[in-house]
């Protein structure tokens, strides 16, 4: 739903202690234009997740490793699905 899309970053932020303690095996989220209407960015999510998780963009062809944040990830041509898998 649109409401849950807007709050995905807050959900990840709220789980930050569990993320740091490596108690969550994987996290899947969608990044889309609705995030632009909030102060949330994919860079924030990468900051929270990148220390303990491998982050992949999910595509038709499979998952593509996204080793670090890049400004191009902030574009909104369409929704992008990601999965973060515990290292």
What ranges in 1-87 are assigned the alpha helix state H? 2-14, 16-20, 42-49
pTM: 0.78
pLDDT in tens, 27-58: 998 887 777 777 778 888 888 999 999 999 89
Is residue 2 scored above 50 in pLDDT? Answer: no
The whole-number pLDDT of residue 29 equals 86
Q: Do 26 and 84 form a contact (C-beta atoms < 8 A)?
A: yes
* Domain parsing of the chain, residue ranges: 2-86
Number of residues that make up the chain:
87
pLDDT in tens, 5-28: 555 667 777 888 999 999 999 999
Rounded to 5 degrees, what angle do the CA atoms 6, 11, 12 make? Answer: 110
């Amino acid at each position: 739903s649109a409401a849950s899309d807007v709050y995905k970053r807050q959900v990840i932020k709220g789980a930050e202690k569990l993320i740091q303690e490596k108690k969550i095996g994987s996290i899947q989220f969608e990044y889309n234009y609705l995030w632009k209407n909030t102060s949330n960015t994919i860079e924030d999510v990468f900051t929270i997740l990148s220390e303990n998780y491998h982050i992949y963009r999910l595509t038709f062809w499979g998952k593509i490793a996204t080793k670090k944040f890049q400004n191009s990830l902030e574009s909104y041509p369409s929704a992008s699905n990601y999965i973060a898998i515990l290292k």
